């Protein structure tokens, strides 16, 4: 973070002149003002004035998403955008594609173009990058991901408990051999949902680790996982997919194989995206409060921007998920 | 567009000094270099050096989308992003939400933060805004929209012909009373598809304008339009929806009403989004080459950025659509 002294040196003026300009108090020549403003912008000097020069009172934040084609993130984006618009702020969406080098490129470009804040709904956020953002006093909110650091606010939902709700619902409605399709294990949410499943089922005699298969959080991954799982265990009668996109792939794959849902196999997803109500059969799922999560993240970030990134405002919020019972799971308990 | 003279004045140095720095040839003191660089950035002076200072060899472009939750635009975004990544360029996505004031806000913020180029897949692009972008020598490519201006490149597909292909297919497979659900009429693509439908069917005795209903290019709009249309004309046996999202809404609404697709009513969409292959029945559609369109737009824009926005490079490209026959329309002609 640049000091007033550095700005003064870069602009070739005295510290007192820079100070007069910052405070908008006392005479500063036009030429000096231009040079100081330019130096401030170049050095990423953060002051209300420099910010005004970059964005003229229209702050810009970035929302880093791992996959713009996943409706879960499109719905999150919708909420972040609505909230920002109400507060006179624009949002740029960045699609990291689960690739750390893309996140690094984005962050570098964003810093150089004076972004005012970043919401991270993506996988990586290495300490080094977080430090750079902090140096530039750019506040960060982490959304739907874990964070080991105390340096930024965090909004997430209780994935572990949600996964257990899913498995309990499948068992309550008569399933006796439940498989799990999990997302990329480097993503905290995927890991927590898998742990929730495993801890719930591991004491049952039917459980074996080969009831778990990867689906990459993608629709295609769900389709492929069904092949793997039914080949290993033709007697599966319930599938808990770690996100709705994979669950929709599961429904497609089962339909192609002539397997009836929920009569032969019940399916439960996780997320609560709108698409789950459009497909047939409509998808039972563990719904996150997607809109609320996005809104909350945007509000916290904007509050931090307005407070000049006051660390006292850091918050950690865990939201509750809820079971939405639709047509892809059975209605009545058969036994139990 | 700032001149070298203005840069020299702002930086308090001679024109010769600025020139030496631009050409990276001859002595320039560190302090002068800093001041010149800062002045260039402030004045939006466009040179390879100023660009390097803003983005350090990593150009940034913006893709303005009308609706980030429509998979058509998510798939376009995917293509633009892949292409940009190959060329060492980052993309920011902007969601205009069909609102002109949002587009204006975005463009202002983008200009102030030294965006290198803009792809417009959104509704509005007033001449005034285009002029401002031109002043800043920021090249623009218009994608999937019409443009009355000769100032930017344009990539689109033949919507009118595609609509006629859709109606012809429905008639060839036995439909005798075909309705149309249209998108917002201020969007050129929606209007062209509607014109294609109307010109094809208007000479048939069964045709009446009340066979057309609005669906806003949204899934919910498609669902509502089905109510309107079946109330007016219970004997409809074919529906051509102006985009896939509305067509998917139509399938949902018909399923809820117990109407069989395609036995009772055939449904054809437009766009060719992947979701059309996931739902049941799979959607017959007029497919645009979505990925090719996005790739082409990104390549043309990057070429213009590299050529310093050379107007000689302006291109107008119209791509061909194609009929993808799936399960939502009948296979065989019944008569004709």
Enter the tokens of residue B206.
């069964």
Q: What is the mean pLDDT of residues B105-127?
A: 83
A40/chain B closest Cα distance in angstroms: 8
Q: Per-residue pLDDT for B122 more than 50?
A: yes
- Confidence class of residue B286 from pLDDT cuts 50, 70 and 90? very high
* Cβ–Cβ < 8 Å for A225, A218: no
* Cβ–Cβ < 8 Å for A247, A285: yes
* Cβ–Cβ < 8 Å for B102, B96: yes
On average, the pLDDT of chain B sits at 88
Task: Read off the CATH number of the domain in which A41 is found.
Answer: 1.10.260.40
* Residue reference for tokens 């002609």: B333
All residues at 6 or more sequence positions from B148 whose CB lies less than 8 Å from its CB, including other chains: none
* Cβ–Cβ < 8 Å for B29, B39: no
Select the residue from B32, B33, B34, B79 to test the A interface by mutation, using most A Cβ atoms within 10 A: B34
| pLDDT reported for residue A16 | 85
- Confidence class of residue B52 from pLDDT cuts 50, 70 and 90? very low
- With an 8 Å Cβ cutoff, are B90 and A113 in contact? no
ipTM of the complex: 0.77
Q: What is the mean pLDDT of residues A206-230?
A: 97
> What order do you get walking across the sheet with A322-324 strand by strand?
A212-214, A178-182, A238-241, A266-271, A284-287, A322-324
Q: Residue A276 domain-assigned?
A: yes
| pLDDT reported for residue A45 | 67
* Option in A56, A69, A219 nearest B278 (CB): A219
A-B CB pairs within 8 A amount to 145
| Extended beta strands in B138-280, E state | 140-143, 153-157, 178-182, 212-214, 238-241, 266-271
Q: Which residue of B has its CA nearest to A29?
A: B10
Phi, psi of A225 (to 5 degrees): -65, -35
On average, the pLDDT of chain A sits at 88
| pLDDT reported for residue A336 | 41
Q: Residue A227 domain-assigned?
A: yes
Show residues of chain A in contact with B77, CB under 8 Å.
Answer: 68-69, 95
| pLDDT reported for residue A1 | 54
Q: Residue B98 domain-assigned?
A: no
- Using one digit for the tens of pLDDT, what is the confidence trace for B87-100? 889 999 998 887 88
Q: Which of B192, B158, B152, B121 is nearest to B316 (CA)?
A: B152
Q: Per-residue pLDDT for A180 more than 90?
A: yes
- With an 8 Å Cβ cutoff, are A71 and B68 in contact? no
Show residues of chain B in contact with A60, CB under 8 Å.
Answer: 109, 113
Q: Per-residue pLDDT for B124 more than 70?
A: no
Q: Residue B221 domain-assigned?
A: yes
- Confidence class of residue B325 from pLDDT cuts 50, 70 and 90? very high
| pLDDT reported for residue B133 | 84
| pLDDT reported for residue B23 | 64
* Cβ–Cβ < 8 Å for A241, A215: yes
Q: Per-residue pLDDT for A168 more than 90?
A: yes
| pLDDT reported for residue B91 | 93
Select the highest-mean-pLDDT range: A55-69, A168-182, B39-53: A168-182
Which residues, listed in sequence order, are joined to residue B7 by a DSSP beta bridge?
A: none
Q: Residue A294 domain-assigned?
A: no
Show residues of chain B in contact with A35, CB under 8 Å.
Answer: 10-12, 35, 38-39
DSSP H/E element including B284: strand B284-287
| pLDDT reported for residue B97 | 81
Q: What is the mean pLDDT of residues B24-53?
A: 69
| pLDDT reported for residue A335 | 42
Q: The domain containing residue A273 runs over which residues?
A: 159-288
Task: Give dist(CA B182, CA B194) in Å, integer.
Answer: 6
- Confidence class of residue B330 from pLDDT cuts 50, 70 and 90? very high
A77 touches chain B (CB under 8 A): yes
A278 touches chain B (CB under 8 A): yes
Q: Per-residue pLDDT for B223 more than 80?
A: yes
| pLDDT reported for residue B56 | 45
Half-sphere exposure of B121 toward its Cβ, with a 13 Å CA cutoff?
Answer: 28
- With an 8 Å Cβ cutoff, are A68 and B75 in contact? no
| pLDDT reported for residue A61 | 94
Q: What is the mean pLDDT of residues A287-303?
A: 95
Q: Per-residue pLDDT for B130 more than 90?
A: no
A78 touches chain B (CB under 8 A): yes
- With an 8 Å Cβ cutoff, are B35 and A62 in contact? no
- Confidence class of residue B24 from pLDDT cuts 50, 70 and 90? low
Which residues, listed in sequence order, are joined to residue A154 by a DSSP beta bridge?
A: A142, A316
- Using one digit for the tens of pLDDT, what is the confidence trace for A219-260? 999 999 999 999 999 999 999 999 999 999 999 999 999 999
- Confidence class of residue A175 from pLDDT cuts 50, 70 and 90? very high
Half-sphere exposure of B240 toward its Cβ, with a 13 Å CA cutoff?
Answer: 30
- Using one digit for the tens of pLDDT, what is the confidence trace for A8-46? 888 889 888 887 777 666 788 888 888 887 887 677 665
A134/chain B closest Cα distance in angstroms: 19
Q: Mean pLDDT lowest for which of A43-47, A269-273, B70-74, B156-160?
A: A43-47
- Confidence class of residue B335 from pLDDT cuts 50, 70 and 90? very low
Q: What is the mean pLDDT of residues A54-58?
A: 55
Residue B298 Cα distances to A64, B71, B79, B135, angstroms: 21, 19, 8, 21
Q: Residue A323 domain-assigned?
A: no
| pLDDT reported for residue A191 | 95
More confident residue, B300 or B150: B300
Select the highest-mean-pLDDT range: A65-69, A114-118, B18-22, B210-214: B210-214
* Option in B9, B69, B93 nearest A78 (CB): B69
- Using one digit for the tens of pLDDT, what is the confidence trace for A137-160? 899 999 887 756 667 889 989 999
What region does B322 belong to: left with phi over 0, alpha with psi -120 to 50, or beta? beta
Phi, psi of A281 (to 5 degrees): -70, 155
Q: Is the peptide bond before B281 cis (omega within 30 degrees of 0)?
A: yes
DSSP string, B131-157: HHHHHTT--EEEESS--S-SSSEEEEE
B112 touches chain A (CB under 8 A): yes
- Give Rg (Cα) of chain B: 25
Task: Read off the CATH number of the domain in which A225 is found.
Answer: 3.40.50.2300
Count up the domains in chain B and report the number: 2
Q: Residue A243 domain-assigned?
A: yes
Q: What is the mean pLDDT of residues A82-106?
A: 87
Q: Residue B69 domain-assigned?
A: no
């Amino acid at each position: 973070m640049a000091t007033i002294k550095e700005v003064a040196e870069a602009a070739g003026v005295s510290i007192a002149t820079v100070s007069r300009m910052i405070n908008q108090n006392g005479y500063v020549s036009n030429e000096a003002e231009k040079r100081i403003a330019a130096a401030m912008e170049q050095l990423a000097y953060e002051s209300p004035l420099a910010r005004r020069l970059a964005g003229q009172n229209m702050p810009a934040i970035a929302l880093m998403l791992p996959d713009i084609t996943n409706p879960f993130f499109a719905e999150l984006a919708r909420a972040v955008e609505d909230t920002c618009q109400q507060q006179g702020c624009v949002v740029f969406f960045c699609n990291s594609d689960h690739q750390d080098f893309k996140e690094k490129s984005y962050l570098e470009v964003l810093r150089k173009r004076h972004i005012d804040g970043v919401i991270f709904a993506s996988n990586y956020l290495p300490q080094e990058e977080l430090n750079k953002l902090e140096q530039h006093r750019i506040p960060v909110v982490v959304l739907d991901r874990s964070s080991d650091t105390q340096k930024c606010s965090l909004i997430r939902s209780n994935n572990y408990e949600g996964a257990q709700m899913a498995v309990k619902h499948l068992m309550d409605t008569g399933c006796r051999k439940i498989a799990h399709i999990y997302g990329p294990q480097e993503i905290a949410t995927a890991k927590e949902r898998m742990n929730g499943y495993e801890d719930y089922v591991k004491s049952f005699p039917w459980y074996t680790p080969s009831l778990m298969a990867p689906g990459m959080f993608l629709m295609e991954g769900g389709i492929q996982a069904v092949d793997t799982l039914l080949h290993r265990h033709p007697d599966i009668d319930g599938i808990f997919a770690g996100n709705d996109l994979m669950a929709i792939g599961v429904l497609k794959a089962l339909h192609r194989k002539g397997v009836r849902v929920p009569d032969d196999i019940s399916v439960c997803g996780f997320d609560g995206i709108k698409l789950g109500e459009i497909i047939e059969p409509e998808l039972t799922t563990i719904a996150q409060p997607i809109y609320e999560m996005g809104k909350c993240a945007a509000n916290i970030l904007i509050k931090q921007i307005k407070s000049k990134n006051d660390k006292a405002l850091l918050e950690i919020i865990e939201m509750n998920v809820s079971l939405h019972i639709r047509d892809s799971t059975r209605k009545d308990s058969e036994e139990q």
